[in-house]
Every structure is written in C-alpha cells, then in structure tokens.
Amino acid sequence: MGHTAAARGIGCVFGEPGVGKTVAVQQALHLLPSRVPVWRAVVGVKPALPQMRASLCEALGLSAGSLSHRAQSAGRALGEALRQPGLLFLDDAQRLSPPLLDLRLLWDEPGKAAALLLCGAGAERVIARAPALRSRVLTWHQVSGLDQERLTETLAGFHDVSEGVDPAGAGWADATVARGNFRTWAKITSHVYAMSKRARDIRVDRPLIELACARLGPYP
C-alpha cells in the first residue's frame, strides 16, 4: 500500500468474503505517513453514476449535492482534488458496473497525484472485465485466510480477551468452524467476551470456545 501511494498508482486488494480485507486495509492505512491524506468511500449497492459521483465527492470533501448530477462540473472538481497527493480507498469495489469503471479516466489526467485503492470480494474479477483499468493496476494483493501458525497471536492482537487463549482450543475452532475466516472469528470473540464478563478469571479454553461456537448457529 505504501508503494502504491508513493507511486501514485492503482492497487487492488481482494479475497474471499470475511477474510478480513477491510480490517487489514484499515490497519495498513494507519501505518502510512501522517502527511499522506486518506479518503474513504464505500460503493453502494448497484449505484448509478450520480450516486457514485456523490460518494467520491463526499469522500474528498466536495459538495456532493451540487455536483452529483453535473457530470462535467463533478469531473473537473474531482480531477482538481486528485491533484494533491493522497490515497482514495474505495471499499466494496466489486459492486462497480462497467460504466463506473471509467474511474481510470481520473487517473489519466495530467497532474494527478493521488493513488487509488480498490478493495472487495471479487473486485479482481470486476476489474478483469475492464481491460483498460486492469492494465493500469500497479499492485494486486490477495488476502487469504488466517495463518494457523499465527492464529493465537492474531486473535490476541484483535482483542484483549484472547490473550492467553488455549492454542489447542483455538486450533479446534478454526479447523471445524471458522476455517480461517476472520469475520467468523470476530463473532466467536464477541461471544467469548460476553461470557467472560459474567464471571472473574475465566480462561479462554476449549470448553468456553466450544460454547461460543455453538451460538453461531448452523451458518457461522
């Protein structure tokens, strides 16, 4: 991400649903130098061009209401805003339709100094359908499932309640329920935390983890 921002390029972060793409990107954004502005926008469900313009304008601090339905004015305003160094993070990019993928035009303008980061489950497949945009992507990064060897370390870093978690219990839950899915682990952690608040000195061992997993139902 740091390289993409420094090169003023386009990057794509992709992976299966729930593996932690957005969380990983948010954490990585905090590691960028403070002098690099970060603008965040989320692609709505089946957005039309005016809605997409409004999202970008809002993310960049522009007047979304007055520009969203004025294509030329919005284009000029967005182009001018992107002349300053920074990174535009566009989440749920898999929702982009072919007309909206002409975002690349903003990055073809002379003087453009901002970088673009597209993130989403299936974002790589959407971009693949737009060869002109795909050819401009500088960096591709696939987020895979949680690493088994660093599972307990990752869980402890995510929430204090998992400090000292039983490795065997965590390994069982990952192999049988979570299967490396970060979103599922976030739900397990939420249940573990709720149960830990009901008594003192509760150890996050396999019985407690099994009880938390049982509350996820048939579709964890």
Here the CATH number for the domain that contains residue 19 is 3.40.50.300
For residues 37 and 84, is the Cβ–Cβ distance under 8 A? Answer: yes
112 & 33 share domain: yes
Q: pLDDT value at position 150?
A: 93
Which residues, in sequence order, are CB contacts of 188 under 8 Å at separation 6+? 173, 177, 178, 209, 212, 213, 216
Check whether residue 125 and residue 65 sit in a common domain.
yes
Q: Do 127 and 182 share a domain, yes or no? A: no
- Do 94 and 181 fall into the same domain? no
Domain final residue, candidates 142, 165, 185: 142
Residue 220 lies in a domain: no
| Cα(38)–Cα(24) distance, integer angstroms | 15
In a domain, 9, yes or no: yes
> Do residue 39 and residue 132 come from a single domain?
yes
Is residue 190 in a domain? yes
Same domain (yes/no): 65, 128: yes
For position 179, what pLDDT does the model report?
A: 95
Domain around 108: 2-142
Pick out the chain residues at pLDDT < 50. Answer: none
- Asked if 133 and 26 sit in the same domain, the reply is yes
Are 31 and 79 within one domain?
A: yes
Q: From CA 116, how far away is CA 94, in angstroms rounded?
A: 15
Is residue 54 located within the same domain as residue 84?
yes
Q: Is residue 27 part of a domain?
A: yes
Residue where one domain finishes, among candidates 142, 176, 200: 142
What is the pLDDT at residue 54? 82
In a domain, 170, yes or no: yes
Q: Are residues 67 and 81 in the same domain?
A: yes
Residue 122 lies in a domain: yes
182 touches 25 (CB < 8 A): no
What does pTM read for this prediction?
A: 0.85
Domain termination site, one of 142, 162, 183: 142
Instruction: Count how many Cα atoms sit within 13 Å of the Cα of residue 98 in the half-sphere of its side chain.
Output: 3
Domains identified in the chain, total number: 2
Q: What is the pLDDT of residues 105-160, one digit of tens each?
A: 677 777 889 999 999 999 999 999 888 889 999 999 999 999 999 999 999 999 99
Q: Which amino acid is at 38?
A: V
Residues 127 and 39 in one domain: yes
Residue 27 corresponds to which tokens in the numbers above?
């954490």
Do 48 and 137 lie in a common domain? yes
In whole angstroms, give the CA distance from residue 148 to residue 163: 16
Residues paired with 90 in a beta bridge: 41, 118
Give a yes or no: residue 219 inside a domain.
Answer: no
